[in-house]
Structure 1
Amino acid sequence: MYLPDFIEIQRNSFNALLKKGLIKEIKNRSPITNIKKNIELFFYPELYQLNPPNFTNKTAILKAKTYACKLYIPVQLVNNTSKKIKTQWVLLTNFPLMTKRGHFIINGSPRIIINQIIRSPGIYYQEVFDKKKKRKYYADLISFRGTWLRLEIDKKKAIWARMKKTPKISILIFLQAMGLTNQLIFHSIEHSDFLKNSFSDEENLTTTEEALKLLYSEINPKKEETSIKSSMGQKFLFRKFMNPRTYDLSELGRSRLNEKLGLSISKSKTTLTPHDILYAINYLIKLEHGFGKIDDIDHLKNRRVRASGEILQNQISLGLIRLEKLIREKLKKNRKNIILQNLITTKAINGALREFFGSSQLSQFMDQTNPLAEITHKRRLTSIGPNGVSRETAGMALRGIHPTHYGRICPIETPEGPNAGLVNSITSYAKINSKGFLETPFYKTFKGQIQKKLKPLFFSAEEEETKILISSDLNSSKFYFLPKKKIPTRFGTETQQTKKDQVEYSAISQIQMISIATSLIPFLEHNDANRSLMGSNMQRQAVPLIKPERPVVGTGLEGRIISDSDHALQTQFTGYISYVSGKKIIVYTIKKKKNLSLNLQKSTKNSFFSEYLFPKKLKKNSTNKIKKNPLIKRNTLFIEIIKNSIKKNEILLHTFQRSNQETLLTHYASICEGNWIQKNDLLADSSCSLKGEIALGKNILIAYMPWEGYNFEDAVLINERLVYEDIYTSIHIERFELEIRDTKFGLEKITNKLPEVPFSQLLHLDERGIAKIGSWVEEGTILIGKITPIKKKSLIPHEKLLYDIIGKKTPTTRDSSLRAPKGLTGRIIHVEILETKNLPPESLFEGPGRVHIYIAEKRKIQVGDKISGRHGNKGIISKILPRQDMPFLPDGTPVDMVLNPLGVPSRMNVGQILECLLGLAGIFLNQQYKITPFDEKYGPEASRSLVFSKLYEARLKTGQKWLFNPNFPGKIQLFDGRNGKCFDQHTTIGQAYILKLVHLVDDKIHARSTGPYSLVTQQPLRGRSKHGGQRLGEMEVWALEGFGSAYILQELITIKSDDTKGRHQVINAILKNKSISLGTPEAFKVLIKELQSLCLDIIVYTRKASKLDTTFLDF
């Protein structure tokens, strides 16, 4: 079955940027001239050169650098006055490079450029209804780059032109300003009487100059009419719509405009012409008279995808505009000796790219939780962003599913929440063509036979409109003939019943209409779409486990995800494995095939083994395995030729690397020494794969039954076996950073000599003051020793005497070391010393300036962790039960997990039941299944028939009659582990594929007794990261007031909250058994100050024994 490369969308787009986009943008800005036009600067982008990056992408991540290369370009400076010409190669920018896996590395962080789906350039006619249900028409002229123009008809039937942030302009003024006469306008429009509504007494213009003046005065109403010239209006129109540098329809937009309005303007003319506006108005008036048709803006023929290359091209264009301004300013000075290198600076384009990667909505921190998350992130489509829509204004029509989405945009995979329908995923088979439109493949159908032997054809939504199509879930005969009865087909956006001979094309796969993540859900067709959406999203949140395991019930796409994501390691050549370790694999390959003709053995493999690869020790043992011709002598020349044709290849494995989400990225060698490998064979698995297939979770024995209320409402009961046998144990790698700073008392210093720190706490530090690799660290352990200089304390005489007696010096530094945070226990696996950024260049310091420490932490499954199946069946672990207390099967096997049966009927995700039953059969039969979704094409109830037949087969082969009971198919009698008695009812049990999600309780749970307070209100900070607490809110105060608990309430809003004096005094009062004095809360003081700042004379007085003291309290 044909499947495209899943990451080719990103790679192809970046390749197009390097081959065409970059050259086009630089050409648009060449030449740059000064005001007098006597100096010209020419760029020759066709000859540009990229220097190789200074380091690999792995080094870029560790060193917190950008993976980029230097872009050089030949530049020619021509002085028309002196007739001098200078030519030189100039550095234009540091150009970020895309890695082989389709992402960028910016400041050490892998980042993704999201594909954006926006309106295609062209003209679109739409209708709206006002409050009185009256229909109004308008047209939007959308450009590839530049100002969008709207033409609209108001209530009085007058036509107006409107641009962003400018007042509306009468269409007659606009047309006359563009150079058209009244006579031409009225003769060109069919229903010209309609234009009379756009006339006003003031607008009886005769010349273009008058129209240009009026146009400019309407755009700038504050400007005096006497100072307005026609040239101002001309410049405005030229800048907005006629300058190729600022306005671009693109070839696509021009062809769309020609097609819609019946024009024949050349495709190379990508700016607006007066005739474009004139014919656009003509069509708008036709719509008002009931002719023509409005456009469906949600149709995919009207929406195109901007991939990473095009988005970067726009940023480079922005950078080049800035560069042009800088060059013009430097040329203004018109110095005689102009140095090219000083003229062109890298700051302009570097700054534009830095801004984009750092702050744009389309540049995102890559989701690296697992390979599926990464590959899905690279295939994401968003409508949000520059030139897109906003969450607030996007309506339901935009978020909904359109018929043209079939085979292009997945109807299931989208986020929950405000981005629902705005952020989507590209389907498994979809591609993006050169114009940016999504295409999906179809097989040709001829006289009722699907031509599966021919190559599939790719159609865009526009090409598909005129064709009669069928979906792939129709069952065909052995020779691909369709059934004789009428079959459901699709023509345009409508469905109909058609004879088989009339069908033109057939979809190629059942999973053609869904995304990759959704395609991994077996028995998808038996689930409610909402739960499938959750299942698709939660597979991307699964953490890599230390013992990966493939699902017993898969869908057949698991291998492609790993190979296309490039997480596992595949060999690029044929050869012999001579060495395998956890860090590298050595492969010997044949370099020159022609030399092998001299060899006497028939097999390349045999000659390779005998002549070179076997060491002398193994030569005797190996000779009996290799056939040799004893009649021919083996001279030294022959052996030498063979040796020269052998190449040693070292393949380095990634070991214990940190992902963006702090999950583990590593390689496990999957081959042994002495093996012969062919090209594309698997060398090493990743942390999320096994035998080249994605492995996100574990196959465990589950039961659907209530258990003492511990699995009520999505709570889950698990067996302690999952903890002790490390079934769901994962490794997480955290990175801690420390950088020395320049304080007003001097530079900080990283050292192992820390003041007033016991020697026992410094044993694991090396001579630099950094924890050694391999050290075990716990909460509070010093990771990096650092001292900060402080102001020298001035001592009073008796303190000075005391210091002299003890022999102690006045402290000039304080300990400011980096310590392991709360709850962390792990081992240091890597230390990276980096360049220091924030220090002045003249400062001299000893030791490292900036350090990264990587700590690996092992996390077992525990109460509070979130787990999930692939069908949206998620839950939180509520109790871990001893294995002897768990319900057990008739053969004595205890169940691993107990789920709530009430979670199935209301959620309508029945696919989990079919999966767990087929998984049970697979475990007993030692089989694995690849179940493609939508298998009902093979017959009614195909899924249930398969599951029951496999269970029955397992019963026959194993002799375990309890596996399939015809009276209770799929159910088994379980026994209570606590007393050995049978449960009252038969229970559904099976092997389900359960994932451990990244929402771990260790990252969420938080408690606080004391901690930091807000500076102004003196109330606890909020949030786990700031070690915050909970505030007593307004509603909690109401609740206590309702119960009349005055003293509790008084304590809570004073000494337990923000009474700063009372907080310190309360402990003394408790220890000395005195009454607690309550002071004034800080929030009350802030309130008084706020009121005083409003010039309200509010003063708080103290009252003593019914007398009012005239002295007020000063806060």
Structure 2
Amino acid sequence: MVLIPRAPVSMSRRIVPRKSYAKLPTVLEVPNLIKVQLDSFQRFQEEGIKQLLEEISPIKDLTGNRLELSFIAYEFREPRPGHSEQECHERDQTYSAPLYVKVRLLVKDTGEIKEQDLFFGDIPLMTSKGTFITSGAERVVVSQLLRSPGVYFTREEDPVSGRYLCQAKLIPTRGAWLEFETSNRYVLSTKIDGKRKIPITTLLRAIGYGSDDDINKLFEKEEKQSEHKYISITMEREPNIKNKKDAMLDIYKKLHPGELPSEANAEKLIHNLFFDPARYDLGNVGRYKLNKRLGVDISLKERTLTREDIVEIIRHIILINNGKDHSDDIDHLGNRRVRTVGELVQTQFRIGFLRLEQVVRERMSIIGTEAVTPSALVNIRPIVAAVREFFGGSQLSQFMDQTNPLAELTHKRRLSAMGPGGLSRDRAGFEVRDVHFSHYGRICPIETPEGPNIGLIGSLATYSIINEYGFIETPYRKVVHELSSKDKKLAGRTVTEDILDEKGKTLIKAEAVITTEIAEKLAKLKSKKIKVVPFVTDEIIYLPADEEDRYVIAQANAPLDENNQFKEQRIEARLADGYLLEEPAKIELMDVTPKQVVSVATALTPFLEHNDANRALMGANMQRQAVPLLRPQAPLVATGMEMEAAKHSRQVVFAEKAGTVTEMAGNIDEKGNTKYRITITHDDKTTKNYDLMKFVRTNQGTCINQRPLVNKGERVEVGQVLADSSATENGELALGQNVTVAFMSWEGYNFEDAIILSSRMVEEDMFTSIHINKHEVEARDTKLGPEEITRDIPNVGEESLRELDEDGIIRIGAEVMPDDTLVGKITPKGETELSAEEKLLRAIFGEKAREVKDTSLRVPHGEWGKVINVKVYTRKDSKNGGDDLPAGVNQWVQVWIAQKRRVSVGDKLAGRHGNKGVISIIAPKEDMPFLPDGTPVDIILDPIGVPSRMNIGQVLETHLGWAAQLLGFRALTPVFDGANDLAIEDALCRAWIVQQSGAIDPNPGENKEPFNKEVAINWVNERGYDGKAVFNEKLNGKAREIGLRLWLEELNISAKKLGSEELEKTIEKVNAEGRFSPPTYGKVILNDGRTGEPFDQPVTVGSIYMMKLIHLVEDKVHARSTGPYSLITQQPLGGKAQFGGQRFGEMEVWALEAYGAAYNLQEMLTIKSDDVTGRAKAYESIIKGDDILQPGVPESFKVLVKELQSLGLALEVINEEEAKIPAIEDTEEEAFKLETEPQSTEEPRWKEVDKDVRD
């Protein structure tokens, strides 16, 4: 056996072009994927604040004739100095800009006008990446998917009559809900804000249709056509109400029972409920939806309810009851809208502004008019508080998932049905969570969490956009059936009917093609429509879900000819929730691309169409959890979305203009920070600096490290990649590694999804990642004096301080381990009553002996690494410049520690198809199974994990990856439009031919192909076949056919004269009989690395893309001997975060009971747990070498006894002789006795032990 050292698969030496297997052209480029966030916040800044100020302006005092405060204009000023994005990150500050509002106060008594520019608080700003920085952490505001305001009609079957009865709900943006229902006795009634039922005719009378005749006229037509006279029956149920006054008083009594109604109050109530803009607002969206559903044409500026609206709703209820109209589907995306960042922030601002309005009104009534100014009236605290509350505490303002660039991007495109005004996961039923046909092209049917939030949190589809009303739209291509006679596109089109000129003479017959000459003649005719054979244009229209339901839409892969006409007579199409086979004449629109159905993360999975949806969901979610690796590799088998995802995550640096790289440097600025940048001088002589991030910690502790890809003096074009990030390679997303995989069982180590990894992965740092932790300490003023950061720490040896500088701060580059000192800090101790000896020492040495406590910052348990950065901030004073620090803080030190984590047993690896597993063993590479050429495989997966999971995409990826690795190309196979079986088999046969012919170059140069094509072609030609045909990509299936015939001939079976069917049968027979596998099966005879013997059966081998997930074993492994105890039960705490112990629970107790291990059990439940006195004595006995004494009573038993005594039960503990045992004395007293009695000659050691026990 020969072990061949192999170059890594990474192609970063040269950018190998992708070989695309896509069959469809690109009609529409992927839109800006974070536009949702950027546009929405910009709209808030430009229009949202203006709307809010207009809503509350002017504010008048309670009498309305003394003072009037108006808001005239507003502006955002530049962020304060020292508050750039980067500085806010480093110093835990909020990236914000001050909002100033021009306020005008009119004193009506004197006519005096006072104007001031008032500061309205610091408003968090959105960064160019679509995020907010609050207290140094990047946050994302997730868009919310809610039921849209408007009217909804539903039908429910009446169990008595079996008829379907209609109900309706009118939901405003702000104000009272109005509900309508039909009883089983055909009475129409309404509820206002869920209160008592009111007959519908009473409501109609109250809003102005006072008499019976008025009401009957409104519904005359519907009543005539209806089997049941709904209005007449309802009128009969009205007790003694015949006019508007009676109706208003009746409604008032039902809404305010117990109050004495008056006509004026009742009229005011009705007006306030539905017709007062301050109290009732449908919003733009509500009015738009109401007009659309009811078929009325009321101005969009009319945002309150009108009488016509209520009449139309009642009319629709009658029509639905009669089966002449349809009810609404509340889960349809036409009835659900998205509230984006801008709108969510605006809603929060509105709360602040309304509180501000109340404050101003109250101050106006108190303050005198002489000295009043706008600043005296306005208090901005409510606004500041509302904003802080939203960004800090809202369910929709989330800590950004920054694990890798894809995680960032998908977090910004997330949709949540939860949050304020939304659903809760307990009340959400199956229907809300389920995939709906209207999600097509709008919300991804795959990407959603697996737990209790399934279906409530989704992701926007790749091409979807959100319109001005908040409805999700998706793009379609227009299908044209007729053209104007003057249209230039007529030439080359086929007409569907005879066309006559003005004299009635036939210009062109049906089914003939219009030539240029005839097109010119047609252009001279009067303008008329000419019917042509339907063809698909590149004109794009965006449709919301409710409009789309009217169109017949063909799918993106419907075959088209060179004129973009449909090739087939029947086209697969869809109409609303139905699927049809339609003739081309009926097709109105066509999908833009097959990947418009899925989200970005889902579109990154090659061969998605071959995976079960559940596994595809896991694959999409796990890509977001992949840790950026030290040596990123873009996938050999990609989908084409990798470049888009990297680009829109804003982590990759692209050139904005063409030019030349003039400088690449790391400069130290005036604050001592190193700035890494690429400077480009553009063709127009302007320059641009592109700053790079070096070893920056993300929210999840992973590392962002941008690496330049250009050199000084290099020419760059627009859009060229200047620098890669942590999880990208040449501007493409690179979340994992291409590894050689074998699907086989190996000594049971890959049982149940476990993974066997080669030691080569560890040696070559293929799955090594960098993780950064930040530690900080503050030196504060205390009541006993200031804390001090110093190297002079009491009772700490020089050895522990060797890496600290003269100020007591660790040096950059120091290797640190758990409990090492990072920053030395001492805190003054409270003065206690001094003993005679201490008084003497104080008298001799003076203040030197004063007591200080060591409160140094140390490396936490379980952490280690290298110090990569230290920042020290010192309070400003008059002599020296300094930093703005919070009150009481004199110094603030931040230390960053980086860890280089190699892959280890227990880490979780996953592919892109939901194929996940935990590493069970890292085997020496020489023990791994090896290929015929001596190459050991990198990873062994369990073949049993494939069939039951139905994620066959991983097998196809393995096959195509194998061919790509051997032939030196990178495959591009988009979702639903990728490589088919034949293309993969062709590629496998080419790879086999290249291997067999010896054409592979063992040491390819910098820019050379990995194999010599001429050698391979000659090898095929020598055997009597066409070598060039094998490598001709246009001849589908040719490489497969020749490869299989050559394979048979290599086995001494004549194959030249075999027909296609005979060839297939012969191959199946040979495969079944022997240990030989044809090249199309992608299988190889592997040899056992330990014995050199071949395995029994051929094994599927190829190249697969695997990622290391953030669930690293190092973050989970934890051990403790002693540590903190719970205050009440005195039992050890639980969990790694609390440095807790292992719980010996109920079931573990059973296990020891089963073995009869009484003494072990007693130890576990007493001295190893919560017998305070016992454990202290046991420790002492171990130190002295004595026998451990009898354990005492557990503290938790004492707690139980005390609990029962507190309930008034006189509980005593009695032994077998019925003698009372004083088992329930206070532990504190016993512990005190222990401390005061002389216990041991090693007193200092014992004091230390006891302190540990008590802590």
Common fold: TM-score over 0.5: yes
Q: How far apart are residue 122 of structure 1 and its match?
A: 0.9
**Does residue 338 of structure 1 match 2:372?**
yes
Change (3 A) 1:943 1:219: farther
Q: Deviations over 1:814-855 (max 9, x none)?
A: 101110012222122222345889xxx99997951x332211
Change (3 A) 1:220 1:816: farther
Q: How far apart are residue 537 of structure 1 and its match?
A: 0.7
Change (3 A) 1:57 1:844: closer
* Structure 2, gaps ≥5 residues long: 1-25, 482-531, 667-674, 877-883, 1001-1015, 1020-1042, 1048-1066, 1072-1076, 1228-1255
**Does residue 574 of structure 1 match 2:601?**
no
* Equivalent in the alignment of 1:630: none
SS at 2:384 equivalent: helix
Q: 1:545 aligns with which of 593, 604, 629?
A: 629
Asked if structure 1 preserves the Cα contact closer than 8 Å seen for 2:960 and 2:984, the reply is no
Q: Deviations over 1:13-71 (max 9, x none)?
A: 12222232221121111100101212444545555343345432111111111111111
> Distance between the aligned counterparts of 2:299 and 2:887, measured in 1?
65
**Does residue 471 of structure 1 match 2:525?**
no
Q: Deviations over 1:477-534 (max 9, x none)?
A: 3443323331221122211111123222111212111111111111111111111111
* Equivalent in the alignment of 1:356: 390
> Distance between the aligned counterparts of 1:268 and 1:910, measured in 2?
55
Change (3 A) 1:464 1:649: closer
Moved more, 253-262 or 208-217: 208-217
> Distance between the aligned counterparts of 2:1104 and 2:321, measured in 1?
61
SS at 1:454 equivalent: strand
* Equivalent in the alignment of 2:1246: none
Amino acid at match of 2:94: T
Q: 1:440 aligns with which of 463, 474, 491?
A: 474
* Equivalent in the alignment of 1:252: 285
SS at 2:752 equivalent: coil
* Equivalent in the alignment of 1:605: none
Q: How does 1:563-712 map to 2 (within 5 A)?
A: 563-581=647-665, 584-587=676-679, 589=681, 646-712=685-751
**Does residue 383 of structure 1 match 2:395?**
no
**Does residue 1062 of structure 1 match 2:1098?**
no
Q: 2:617 aligns with which of 526, 529, 533?
A: 533
Q: Deviations over 1:701-721 (max 9, x none)?
A: 111111111111111111111
Q: How does 1:169-188 map to 2 (within 5 A)?
A: 171=200, 174-181=203-210, 183=212, 184-185=214-215, 187-188=217-218
Q: How far apart are residue 542 of structure 1 and its match?
A: 0.8
SS at 2:349 equivalent: helix
Change (3 A) 1:154 1:1076: farther
Q: How far apart are residue 687 of structure 1 and its match?
A: 1.1
Amino acid at match of 1:469: I
* Equivalent in the alignment of 1:94: 122
Asked if structure 2 preserves the Cα contact closer than 8 Å seen for 1:139 and 1:150, the reply is yes
Change (3 A) 1:9 1:584: same
> Distance between the aligned counterparts of 2:990 and 2:157, measured in 1?
59
Q: 1:988 aligns with which of 1100, 1103, 1107?
A: 1100
Q: How far apart are residue 803 of structure 1 and its match?
A: 7.7
Q: How far apart are residue 296 of structure 1 and its match?
A: 1.0
SS at 2:274 equivalent: helix
Asked if structure 1 preserves the Cα contact closer than 8 Å seen for 2:652 and 2:725, the reply is yes
Q: Deviations over 1:911-936 (max 9, x none)?
A: 11111221122122111111112237
> Distance between the aligned counterparts of 2:241 and 2:1210, measured in 1?
66
Q: 1:297 aligns with which of 323, 326, 330?
A: 330
Change (3 A) 1:1004 1:231: farther
**Does residue 1081 of structure 1 match 2:1194?**
yes
Change (3 A) 1:585 1:790: closer
Moved more, 1025-1034 or 396-405: 1025-1034
Q: How far apart are residue 1081 of structure 1 and its match?
A: 2.3
Asked if structure 1 preserves the Cα contact closer than 8 Å seen for 2:99 and 2:123, the reply is yes
* Equivalent in the alignment of 2:230: 194
> Distance between the aligned counterparts of 1:409 and 1:119, measured in 2?
15
Higher-Rg structure is: 2
> Distance between the aligned counterparts of 2:402 and 2:886, measured in 1?
39
SS at 2:476 equivalent: strand
* Equivalent in the alignment of 1:819: 858
> Distance between the aligned counterparts of 1:470 and 1:45, measured in 2?
52
> Distance between the aligned counterparts of 2:427 and 2:395, measured in 1?
17
Moved more, 759-768 or 38-47: 38-47
* Equivalent in the alignment of 2:166: 137
* Structure 1, gaps ≥5 residues long: 594-645
**Does residue 722 of structure 1 match 2:761?**
yes
> Distance between the aligned counterparts of 1:231 and 1:783, measured in 2?
75
Q: Deviations over 1:569-625 (max 9, x none)?
A: 11222322232246534535357x5xxxxxxxxxxxxxxxxxxxxxxxxxxxxxxxx
Q: Deviations over 1:989-1043 (max 9, x none)?
A: 1111111111111111122232212212222222211112233334444555566
* Equivalent in the alignment of 2:995: 955
Amino acid at match of 1:19: E
Asked if structure 1 preserves the Cα contact closer than 8 Å seen for 2:149 and 2:173, the reply is yes
* Equivalent in the alignment of 1:393: 427
Moved more, 424-433 or 961-970: 961-970
Q: How does 1:1022-1033 map to 2 (within 5 A)?
A: 1022-1033=1134-1145
Moved more, 1069-1078 or 9-18: 1069-1078
Asked if structure 1 preserves the Cα contact closer than 8 Å seen for 2:58 and 2:71, the reply is no
Asked if structure 1 preserves the Cα contact closer than 8 Å seen for 2:780 and 2:888, the reply is no
Asked if structure 2 preserves the Cα contact closer than 8 Å seen for 1:555 and 1:931, the reply is yes
**Does residue 492 of structure 1 match 2:576?**
yes
Asked if structure 2 preserves the Cα contact closer than 8 Å seen for 1:150 and 1:162, the reply is yes
**Does residue 860 of structure 1 match 2:890?**
no
Moved more, 884-893 or 239-248: 239-248
* Equivalent in the alignment of 2:515: none
> Distance between the aligned counterparts of 2:66 and 2:846, measured in 1?
76
SS at 2:573 equivalent: strand
Amino acid at match of 1:1079: G
The two structures have a TM-score, normalised by structure 2, of 0.79
Q: How far apart are residue 393 of structure 1 and its match?
A: 1.5
**Does residue 315 of structure 1 match 2:348?**
yes
**Does residue 123 of structure 1 match 2:151?**
yes
Q: How far apart are residue 251 of structure 1 and its match?
A: 2.9
**Does residue 26 of structure 1 match 2:53?**
yes
> Distance between the aligned counterparts of 1:1027 and 1:379, measured in 2?
37
Q: How far apart are residue 812 of structure 1 and its match?
A: 2.1
> Distance between the aligned counterparts of 2:1205 and 2:262, measured in 1?
55
* Equivalent in the alignment of 2:952: 910
* Equivalent in the alignment of 1:893: 935
* Equivalent in the alignment of 1:506: 590
* Equivalent in the alignment of 2:924: 882
Q: How far apart are residue 748 of structure 1 and its match?
A: 2.9
> Distance between the aligned counterparts of 1:884 and 1:1114, measured in 2?
64
Change (3 A) 1:492 1:345: same
Change (3 A) 1:279 1:1067: same
> Distance between the aligned counterparts of 1:425 and 1:958, measured in 2?
49
SS at 2:539 equivalent: coil
Amino acid at match of 1:140: K
SS at 1:390 equivalent: coil
* Equivalent in the alignment of 1:922: 964
> Distance between the aligned counterparts of 2:867 and 2:533, measured in 1?
64
Amino acid at match of 1:955: Q
> Distance between the aligned counterparts of 2:309 and 2:743, measured in 1?
67
Change (3 A) 1:753 1:451: farther
Asked if structure 2 preserves the Cα contact closer than 8 Å seen for 1:793 and 1:811, the reply is no
SS at 2:601 equivalent: helix
> Distance between the aligned counterparts of 1:125 and 1:202, measured in 2?
24
Q: How far apart are residue 763 of structure 1 and its match?
A: 3.0
Asked if structure 2 preserves the Cα contact closer than 8 Å seen for 1:531 and 1:907, the reply is yes
* Equivalent in the alignment of 2:1117: 1005
Q: How far apart are residue 804 of structure 1 and its match?
A: 7.5
Q: How far apart are residue 267 of structure 1 and its match?
A: 2.7
Asked if structure 1 preserves the Cα contact closer than 8 Å seen for 2:653 and 2:690, the reply is no
Asked if structure 2 preserves the Cα contact closer than 8 Å seen for 1:449 and 1:480, the reply is no
Q: Deviations over 1:330-389 (max 9, x none)?
A: 111131211222322332222111111111111111111111111111111111122221
* Equivalent in the alignment of 1:1097: 1209
**Does residue 70 of structure 1 match 2:98?**
yes
CA RMSD of aligned residues (A): 3.1
